[in-house]
């Protein structure tokens, strides 16, 4: 693979590590992404006593106080709204279907939302998603606007960019101007989500993979749709958003070297 500088000029080449030779496994990638998403979910549920805080007992027996005996009433639990001697005005309560009553099957916080995936499968899914980033056809199917240079392996100088304007200029020089314009074209969400802190729907743009903690992690985080990740922290969700592999990815040459040298995401020898 060719290595380019920040001006999109070829400055060398590098051999693709064996991780990029993995066969494309869309079903395995999907499983890995679903596991990541499930494990991010926060538990939620109704108050166990919700709708049950009313004393709503209705007896059908004879000669009991506050009984419905002889009134032709069904067995729905009821609470007393008014009384006149031994005559009562009842209103349905407690049971599902009554005003203020409990839900029949509310969400329960004790429900286990987590999903497990074998470590070998997880690593294989990451390798498969890595290989998909080098497949021009798969990247095009995700509607990315692919630049002339592909795959995009940039000299490690990209990691030292510490201003957002510099990152924007570099992306433009690399031929990613059209891609960034596509990502910046956000639309308003349909439905109630507009009132719940997620008014706009964005698109996923380029993923930048770096070799270590560097200024680029901060300088690129304000760019719409762009994610920057240290190579150790790569996962299936970053490489295949929405379970669809083939994300347009910009690699630092040092990150590629680390993938090969440290045998990242491979089985232990």
pLDDT digits (tens, 9 = 90+) for 28-78: 999 999 999 999 999 999 999 999 998 898 888 998 888 888 888 898 999
Question: Which residue intervals of 50-163 are DSSP H helices?
Answer: 119-132, 136-141
Task: Tell me the average pLDDT across 85-109.
Answer: 93
Domain range annotation of the chain = 2-43+118-261, 56-108
The pTM score is: 0.86
| pLDDT over 70 percentage in the chain | 100
Q: Determine what percent of the chain falls in helix, strand and coil, rounding each to the nearest 5.
A: 35, 15, 50
Task: Tell me the average pLDDT across 125-148.
Answer: 96
The length of the chain, given as a count of residues: 269
Average pLDDT for the chain: 95
pLDDT digits (tens, 9 = 90+) for 195-247: 999 999 999 999 999 999 999 999 999 999 999 999 999 999 999 999 999 99
Among 122, 135, 137, smallest CA distance to 21 is for 135
C-alpha span between 225 and 223 (Å, rounded): 6
Task: Tell me the average pLDDT across 103-107.
Answer: 95
pLDDT at residue 268 above 80? no
Beta bridge partners of 4: 10, 154
Q: Looking at domain 2-43+118-261, does it have CATH number 3.40.1370.10? A: yes
Q: Band the pLDDT of 89: cuts 50, 70, 90.
A: very high
**What are the residues whose beta carbons fall under 8 Å from the beta carbon of 48, sequence distance 6 or more?**
none
User: In the prediction, which pLDDT does 140 show?
Assistant: 96
Task: Tell me the average pLDDT across 71-89.
Answer: 91
């Amino acid at each position: 693979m060719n290595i380019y500088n920040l001006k999109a000029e070829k400055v060398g080449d590098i051999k693709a590590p064996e991780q990029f030779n993995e066969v494309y496994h869309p079903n395995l990638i999907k499983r890995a992404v679903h596991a990541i998403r499930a494990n991010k979910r926060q538990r939620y549920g109704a108050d166990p006593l919700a709708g049950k805080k009313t004393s709503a007992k209705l007896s059908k027996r004879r000669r009991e106080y506050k009984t419905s005996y002889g009134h032709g009433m069904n067995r729905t639990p009821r609470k007393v709204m008014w009384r006149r001697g031994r005559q009562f005005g009842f209103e349905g309560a407690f049971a599902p279907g009554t005003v203020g009553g409990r839900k029949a099957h509310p969400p329960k916080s004790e429900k286990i939302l987590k999903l497990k995936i074998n470590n070998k499968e997880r690593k294989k899914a990451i390798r498969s998603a890595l290989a998909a980033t080098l497949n021009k056809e798969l990247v095009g199917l995700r509607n990315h606007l692919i630049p002339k240079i592909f795959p995009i392996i940039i000299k490690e100088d990209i990691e030292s960019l510490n201003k957002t304007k510099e990152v924007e200029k570099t992306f433009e020089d690399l031929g990613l101007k059209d891609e960034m314009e596509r990502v910046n074209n956000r639309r308003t969400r349909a439905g109630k989500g507009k009132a719940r802190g997620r008014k706009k729907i964005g698109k996923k743009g380029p993923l930048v993979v770096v070799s270590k903690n560097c200024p680029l992690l901060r300088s690129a985080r304000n760019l719409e749709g762009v994610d920057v990740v240290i190579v150790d922290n790569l996962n299936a969700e970053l490489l295949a958003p929405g379970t669809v592999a083939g994300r347009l990815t910009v690699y630092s040459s040092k990150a590629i070297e680390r993938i090969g040298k440290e045998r990242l995401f491979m089985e232990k020898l």
